[in-house]
Chains A and B, each alone.
Chain A
């Protein structure tokens, strides 16, 4: 009786719920939950409708919907909404070398009038191509891409604006705050087009000295608080505390002038570096911060149109990746994005972020329900693709393999693991896969400012047991590397020997050489125990975790301590950049050339290890100029050895990326013969076929 009541109630509830939500059927809103009863035809729906498939479904990581070659920041946005939509001038071949696509690039060295050597890249595109809306493709569309990326208001990821192209600096810097333009024009300036004579006079005679005095006074006051200066008038003491030397009895303005001199008149850097709390410009009237457009420079002199299909880009200095920078670019229709594009306003280009249009193999239709829909472009210059529809569906990382085995998705890229390989080998009739090297590598870095003694660093490196950790995590899907550069680059020294092998006894020798002694079971120097703080992101699933675990044990045995700080990646990254760790575990990605100046150069923005060596700088400069491949390899090997000797970067692993293909739906014979780090099916959309 009871049971019957419950089941009756259950049925009643179900029926009521169906009625309750059956009523609303408005567009995007959704109903559900009562399907399991009659839903046995689901498999038939996802399968074939008569033997042939007309849609290629690619499983993608989450999308942000910024399908703009100018402004995207996620690689997956690029795969789904940009790569298939835009044709590029050149592209990479399976070996990572630049080859012609819709155009061609050539370089020529010329001697300029002033005797300097310039590097002129001639970029040309094929004639007769059209965008998917039927408008012809011209070189203006390529130049439009350069100009948007170089615009002063551009906030995307392209680095074109930072290249040493002739006239680029003038173009980018022609708009500046009022204080800067007045200051740089000097007190003797007589051109009052952008500001008045009174403004200039006030700036140099009262406003700048007053702000400078307040700025310097703040530093002195800081010294008073910390005890370095006796009182607010002790300019000498306050300045000395800040690392500046001024004469006895110097005034506060003398101190400021000394700082200006030390910075060669660069007020911005001075303010950023020396401020004791308040920016120099905050001591000035707000009006000085207003941006003045100097109006003169509205073209980049180094970018010149030759004819409708050719332009030249002139570089002031040699750059081994310049050809990629100027030619491995999408062709973006100016008529569509902003026919009246003017300098300083990229808002119209941004407004088209969600609706890309180009001359590539597919035409963008929509991004709804987490699915990007594209249709074949019959105007594509290499011929209309054979698969009429291309869709990118957002899928969860953990379901990627199931989705392919269930034939819901045709191609996707799970992160390679031994379990997945085993699962795919079991289902070889349903899915196949490819493995290629990831263009990046994992490493452990040591901050040379926090661990200044090279022997301590070498000792730490001798405690890193990399082989077992990588072998157990990756198996054949990763390998230990010996130099801090991805082996996918041709310049990587394949014959490199391990620089520091795992050897706790040797490590102890290094520590002892650095002056550490074992006292009462503790490794101490000047009474201080050796304690190293290491930062790692999400250690529970990190391949390098066993290395740290073993290191911590070995160090504990010696009487030292390794403090592992397990943090989220978004926390790790700023802490590493801010130099808050002695040691950290991270990885690099997307390496396309052997230019390591950003990471290892003294001026490099990513030199988080804070190790500066003029010898490395000189080698790097040499490498960038060395066009001869063998010669360049030698220099790179030399540079990498220097870095290893400094013991600031321990290369750990090179891992593989995986792509899986659905054998049931996709004609895998039509995939490219060679899939490599730089080349996969996306380069040959037009020849892919379904079953």
Chain B
């Protein structure tokens, strides 16, 4: 096991290296660099000034030269300064991590808590009204475009009823402290989380249902029933635990999603999360931020797959490395 993990970590470094080359190549090949973006539409900028700025931002270098200098700095732990935010990339990520993590983390917990029980219920009563209702709702959630659903929810709960704020993270007018501040945060995050959960829960739910169906038709479940075990035990002990195996790997794969953010939902509700600013960074050609952020996500993805592989061995004694 130890050897396996060690090997996987070593391979991860190689993968990261390849990923960084790809990412840098793509980021630099995007048409329109940062300087031309910030100077577009400004009549007072001279070509000399633009050239000077390119030199100062390091954009006059070729892709290979630029990559080598980025790699050199990155290996020393220096991910550079974001062009757009004029702050070290690591700082920008740290600063904007909280809303993303809160939104995605709470939503993920809710999704798991909803998807697994309902997936199991649907599977146990396959082809019943309950099953069809659950699956239909799940499919509706998957098919709802988040920007549309968000607007509908907002026009009902914020504009018409006035229960929840329209957007933002806090009520700017008030200077809440302590518990009130917490409640204010909660109110602002309620709608985004609802959008996130309803549009995201379907996938996991259907996955759980399919797996459960497979397990329920397995021989050992029939055996358990045949030997007269109560249904609660059959489902809870024999079937459910086996259903968990593939779900664990899926949940492991969801880890990077906690940080990559939800570009559209964050944008609509004006939450300054990582997804929202990553999108802005793409538009403006902020190379250092894009590199720092994407590498961060790449590392998390590798960790996520490693963790789910290890968990696989934990939940399934048949798997040995």
Contacts and interface: CB of A to CB of B under 8 A. Distances in A.
B92 to A, nearest CB: 9
Contacts of B85: 64-66
A626 interface: no
A68 B85 CA distance: 11
Given A350-B86, A391-B172, A605 B47 contact: yes
Nearest to B271: A370
Contacts of A270: none
A21 interface: yes
Interface stretch (A121-129, A392-400, A514-522): A392-400
Contact of A406 (B158, B170, B272): B158
B171 A45 contact: yes
Nearest to B103: A30
Contact of A57 (B56, B113, B173): B173
Interface string B77-89: 0000000111100
Interface in A8-44: 9, 13, 16-17, 20-21, 25, 28-36, 39-40, 42-43
Interface string A545-582: 00000000000000000000000011101110100000
Interface string B224-256: 000000000000000000000000000000000
Contacts of A393: 168, 172, 270
Contacts of A55: 172-175
Contact of A573 (B32, B49, B190): B32
A540 interface: no
B117 interface: yes
Contact of B109 (A20, A46, A575): A20
Interface stretch (A152-160, A329-337, A636-644, A668-676): A152-160
Given A30-B186, A35-B187, A399 B173 contact: no
Of A31, A62, A153, the most chain B CB neighbours within 10 A belong to A31
A42 B167 contact: no
Interface string B95-111: 00011011100100110
B280 interface: yes
Nearest to A66: B86
Contact of A45 (B159, B174, B276): B174
A322 to B, nearest CB: 13
Interface stretch (A104-112, A244-252, A584-592): A584-592
A29 B283 contact: no
Interface residues of B, number: 84
A403 interface: yes
B185 A32 contact: yes
Given A65-B87, A394-B270, A32 B46 contact: no
B212 interface: no
A599 interface: yes
Nearest to A598: B43
A586 B42 CA distance: 12
A162 interface: yes
Contacts of A32: 102, 106, 185-190, 193
A157 B162 contact: no
A571 B31 contact: yes
A514 B99 CA distance: 61
B164 interface: yes
Contact of B166 (A53, A65, A399): A399
A20 B109 CA distance: 8
A598 B130 contact: no
Contact of B184 (A36, A45, A62): A45
B86 A590 contact: no
A64 B158 CA distance: 27
Most buried by A among B49, B197, B276: B49
A370 B173 contact: no
Interface in A347-382: 350, 353-354, 369-371
B231 to A, nearest CB: 13
A369 B87 contact: no
A615 interface: no
Max chain A C-beta neighbours (<10 A), residue from B32, B87, B175, B184: B32
Interface stretch (B19-27, B33-41, B301-309): B33-41
B162 A406 contact: yes
A402 interface: yes
A29 B102 contact: yes
Contact of A35 (B99, B175, B186): B186
A371 B170 contact: yes
A30 B172 contact: no
B151 to A, nearest CB: 8
B248 to A, nearest CB: 18
A71 interface: yes
Interface string B38-71: 1111111111111011001100000000000000
A335 to B, nearest CB: 22
Contacts of A295: none
Nearest to B91: A354
B185 A46 contact: no
A606 interface: yes
Nearest to B55: A155
A6 interface: yes
Interface string A376-419: 00000000000001011111101100110110110000000000
Given A17-B110, A32-B189, A42-B165, A598 B172 contact: no
Given A33-B197, A598-B46, 18 more contacts: A9-B121, A13-B114, A17-B113, A20-B109, A30-B185, A42-B163, A42-B165, A64-B84, A155-B57, A157-B42, A162-B48, A371-B169, A371-B172, A402-B159, A408-B165, A570-B37, A574-B31, A598-B44
11 contacts: A21-B106, A31-B102, A33-B186, A33-B193, A34-B190, A49-B174, A394-B270, A396-B268, A399-B154, A570-B30, A599-B43
